Chain A
Amino acid sequence: MNRPGEARIVPQYPELGTRPISVEPMVSADYFARERETIFRHMWINLIMRAEDIPNPGDFFVRDIEVLGVSIIVVRGDDGVIRGFHNVCTHRGNRITHATCGNSNGFQCDFHGWTFARQGDLVHVTDEEQFLDFDKSEASLPPVHIDQWHGFLFANLDDEPAQTLEQSMAQFNADLGGFPFDEMICAGRYRYEVDANWKVTMNAFQEGYHVAFVHKRSAPDAFTGGENPYCHIPLIKLQPGGNQSLAVPANPGHALSPTEALAFKFGATFTQGTGNESSFPGTHKGEVENWGFDLNILFPFSRINVGAGWYYVDAFWPVDQGHTVYELAYYFPAPGKASAMVSQEFSKIVLRDLSREDLSTNEDTQKALNSGALRHIFLSEQEVAIRHLYRKVDERIHGHHEERTA
Chain B
Amino acid sequence: MNTGTLPQPFEYLAPWLEWALPTEAGRMQKRLDASMTQLTTFYNILLPRMEEIVAYLDQWELHEIPADSKPLLYLALMFMEAAVCVELFKDPDVPESLPAAKMKVFSEQTEQALLANSPRP
Contact = CB atoms under 8 A, between A and B. Distances in A.
A192 B102 contact: yes
A-side interface size class: 35 or more
B13 interface: no
A187 B84 contact: no
Nearest to A214: B96
B83 interface: yes
Interface of B: 24, 28, 47, 50-51, 54-55, 57-58, 60-62, 65, 73, 76-77, 79-81, 83-84, 87-90, 94-98, 100, 102-107, 110, 114
B62 A338 contact: yes
A342 interface: yes
Contact of B97 (A185, A191, A262, A356): A356
A188 interface: yes
Interface of A: 185-194, 214, 217-218, 220, 257-259, 262-263, 266, 334-339, 341-342, 345-346, 348-350, 352-353, 356-357, 359-360, 362-363
B54 A259 contact: no
Contacts, number: 126
A214 B98 CA distance: 12
Nearest to A257: B87
Nearest to A337: B58
B87 to A, nearest CB: 4
A360 B89 CA distance: 15
Given A218-B88, A341-B77, A342-B54, A356 B100 contact: yes
B104 A191 contact: yes
B51 to A, nearest CB: 7
A334 B121 CA distance: 13
Nearest to B84: A349
15 contacts: A185-B110, A189-B106, A194-B102, A217-B94, A336-B62, A337-B61, A338-B73, A339-B54, A349-B84, A353-B97, A356-B100, A357-B94, A357-B96, A359-B97, A360-B97
Contacts of A266: 54
Given A338-B62, A338-B76, A190 B97 contact: no
Contact of B96 (A341, A349, A360): A360
